[in-house]
Structure 1
Amino acid sequence: MQRMAIDLTKRNLIRLGAMGVIAPSWLAGCSTANSCVQDKQRTPQLIGGSIRHNGEFDVVIAASGTQPIHQLPLPGRGHGVAIHPHQPLAVMFGRRPGTYAMVFNYQSGQMESLLLAPKQRHFYGHGVFSSCGQWLYATEGERSSSRGIIGVYDTQRGYNKIDEFTGFGVGPHEVIVMADGTLAVGVGGVHTDGRTPLNLTTMRPSLVYLSATGELLEQVSLTDHRKSIRHLAHDGDEVVLTGQQYRGEADFYVPLVALHKRGQPMQELGGEPEDWARFNHYIASIAANKHHIVATSPRGNCYGIWDKESMNLLQINVLPDASGVVVKDGQFFISSGAGKVVKIAPDLTVKMMGSPTQWDNHWQMIT
């Protein structure tokens, strides 16, 4: 197995600052990570990225969608969050093409480790822990080719990289773990220089299933190769939900959410072209409970609700910079970059709450 020691603990932050990896303002922020604690007795429930008014970035741990408990500064804009299944640890991944993954304790609000991508590699912004908690799987890419890689890090050995899975395509974005331990990977299919796409006419997106040891188990695609499969969720059982970014004609509006069961073709959710136009070619986050599916679009400033059984579109609702969506006890919680949180009850009753946090990209529920 390949072993790559790129784990950098808190002891090394001063050295990183001297090297120019971390800005002095970020180093100063590490000593005040607990400054926004409102009530130490509250239990952390939600973790997500945020943008400060001065343009700097944080990861926020909140007891609810409205009040932060801890706020840790990040070395760059964050994207996806992975939460350890058994310990009070989480990882924030840098936004694509990301240079870091930061491990922190969400109970204490302290950083544990900082993983840096080698110069020839980058993180794609997402990762997930194995069900046992020993392995951290991260979507990564080779800068010169966007060759897709799942980096495997050993959480019991200082988050050293011990393996890499590859050979499944270009531009993986999100990886999730299914109930049986199988990995599902949303492969965007796009080769990029930074964030500039280079192969839109030949892109080959897919949904890939890998074993816990990297064996390719299944690979399926949508009929339109211009739909880059990016964001994933599952319903706790066998259904994988995929959110797409459409890379075709600007005035052509197509379904952007699909579901899949192993051994079957992908099925796209319902909606007329004028409905899908509201999402502005991009789905950010997806979640499902027993009866409904919710998907957000920050570019479209909205979120949609579908009936899970019929796959019919039920609602599209306005929400500026609609970002993360999670489920707890059958209720959906949606974050917004405009300082709003939407709570949707199982009967689809909606409650809007204000938040002091300008939420950014994704968030996760601590279970």
Structure 2
Amino acid sequence: MQQMVTDNTRRSLLKAALFGACAPLLPFGCASSAQKQAALIGCAVTSRNQFSAVIADKEGQAISQLPLPARGHGVAIHPQLSQAVAFGRRPGEFMMVFDYQTGEMITLNLSGSERHFYGHGVYSNDGTLLFATEGERGTSRGIIGVYDVKDGYKKTAELTGFGIGPHEVIMMPNNTLAIGVGGVHTNGREPLNIDTMTPSLTYLSMDGKVLEQVSLPDHHLSIRHLAHDGSETVLCGQQYRGQPEDSPSLISMHTRGGEMQPLIAEPEEWARFNHYIASIAATDKWILATSPVGNCYGIWSKHTRRLVELAPLPDASGVVVDGDLFQVSSGAGLVVKNQYPIGAETNISNVQWDNHWAAIH
């Protein structure tokens, strides 16, 4: 563990380490948490300036929570072990590894004075390695930190040379990494190079070789959040950094060797998303994407690329898919089940979900 962090973060991390066991939550006095099976994990806001990683059942009701030292963002779930990692929100100073069955915190990795986390990571398909998006402080040089799971999540390598400001990284079924490279140099969260930003979707081998890079015609579309459809197609969600009155397409599809294909909606429909896509999930027929700042989510036909449903949802955040069922979380404590085109069902959760969800398979 690297030691160079701020005093406030250090105190928070020590406090989290002291109380590193998951605290049980009884959802609205219903059946005890021991009777529920863990199915979803996400970061949440528990009170003012207090944040947690929350383990929930398949309905999005909290079973237990683990306090985080600062606001969390994305979660990676191990493909075989009952381990998960919560990443600090950009510019994050921590990643916390925990066992979601026992509630034990396994380790805290701190970013150090020269690095920060961008809030996302993913395990290799065989579960031996963890890959995390990181940046060099002062330059935003993009880094994929490589961590050895069996060696206590010790960092063993840094993959670089693909651009600045990487955000989400996902693992493709063929063991290739896909990275949403935002292209934005930041000081904290303040962008410094809007006029010259160079975003891309980058495919990287697990040993760091750049296999392919593609970009969008408008360089103000910062590629940030990713998903794949279970096969070879990557969905890219963008944050638009151009003129406020513009309403460009904020989602694209890509398959290796081809061109970026923007999804289609009317300008006034894109305007609802307020220039930002958070979470994406896809089936073989449909694509769902959320916008917390737009307080909505949309569903597109994968075949026609056209928007087929636009629905309001306050602080729409994470989305996961199970078969043909989408589940969407909300910072307003709502959970939506949408099995398009059958219809949507909204339930009340006991959690203020924040940013992203990850499903336990």
TM over 0.5: same fold? yes
- Superposed counterparts of 1:180-259, under 5 Å: 180-259=174-253
How far is the alpha carbon of 1:329 from its aligned partner?
1.9
Give the percent of matched residue pairs that are identical in Structure 1 and Structure 2: 55
State how far apart, in whole Å, the 2-side matches of 1:68 and 1:137 are: 27
How far is the alpha carbon of 1:194 from its aligned partner?
0.3
Residue range with higher mean Cα deviation, 197-206 or 340-349: 340-349
Residue range with higher mean Cα deviation, 58-67 or 224-233: 58-67
SS of match in other structure, 1:157: coil
SS of match in other structure, 1:274: helix
1:76 aligns with 2:79: no
Aligned to 2:81: 87
Q: What CA deviation, in whole Å up to 9, does each residue of 1:287-346 have, x standing for no partner?
A: 001210000000000000101100011111000000000001210000000000000114
The residue type equivalent to 1:35 in the other structure is P
Aligned to 2:29: none
State how far apart, in whole Å, the 2-side matches of 1:6 and 1:65 are: 38
State how far apart, in whole Å, the 2-side matches of 1:240 and 1:152 are: 22
Aligned to 1:364: 358
How far is the alpha carbon of 1:245 from its aligned partner?
0.1
Aligned 8 A contact 1:17 1:24 in 2: no
Q: Which runs of 5+ in 2 are unaligned?
A: 27-31
Aligned to 1:300: 294
Aligned 8 A contact 1:17 1:27 in 2: no
| CA shift in 2, pair 1:323/1:19, >3 Å | closer
State how far apart, in whole Å, the 1-side matches of 2:49 and 2:11 are: 18
Aligned to 1:319: 313
Aligned 8 A contact 1:65 1:335 in 2: no
Aligned to 1:30: 20
1:260 aligns with 2:254: yes
- Superposed counterparts of 1:97-176, under 5 Å: 97-176=91-170
Aligned 8 A contact 2:12 2:70 in 1: no
SS of match in other structure, 2:160: strand
Aligned 8 A contact 1:6 1:161 in 2: no
Q: Which runs of 5+ in 1 are unaligned?
A: 8-15
State how far apart, in whole Å, the 2-side matches of 1:269 and 1:36 are: 40
State how far apart, in whole Å, the 1-side matches of 2:292 and 2:243 are: 20
State how far apart, in whole Å, the 1-side matches of 2:236 and 2:89 are: 19
The residue type equivalent to 2:246 in the other structure is F
Q: What CA deviation, in whole Å up to 9, does each residue of 1:47-94 have, x standing for no partner?
A: 001101333100100012442111110000000000000000000000
SS of match in other structure, 2:150: helix
The residue type equivalent to 1:286 in the other structure is I
1:39 aligns with 2:29: no
Q: What CA deviation, in whole Å up to 9, does each residue of 1:170-198 have, x standing for no partner?
A: 00000000000000000000000000000
- Output the TM-score relative to the length of structure 1: 0.93
| CA shift in 2, pair 1:70/1:232, >3 Å | same
Aligned 8 A contact 2:147 2:156 in 1: yes
- Superposed counterparts of 1:13-28, under 5 Å: 20-22=10-12, 26-27=16-17
State how far apart, in whole Å, the 2-side matches of 1:242 and 1:318 are: 21
How far is the alpha carbon of 1:24 from its aligned partner?
6.4
RMSD across aligned positions (CA): 1.7
State how far apart, in whole Å, the 1-side matches of 2:144 and 2:15 are: 32
The residue type equivalent to 2:308 in the other structure is L
The residue type equivalent to 2:281 in the other structure is A
Aligned to 1:49: 43
- Superposed counterparts of 1:326-337, under 5 Å: 326-337=320-331
Aligned 8 A contact 1:210 1:216 in 2: yes
Aligned 8 A contact 2:17 2:105 in 1: no
SS of match in other structure, 2:102: coil
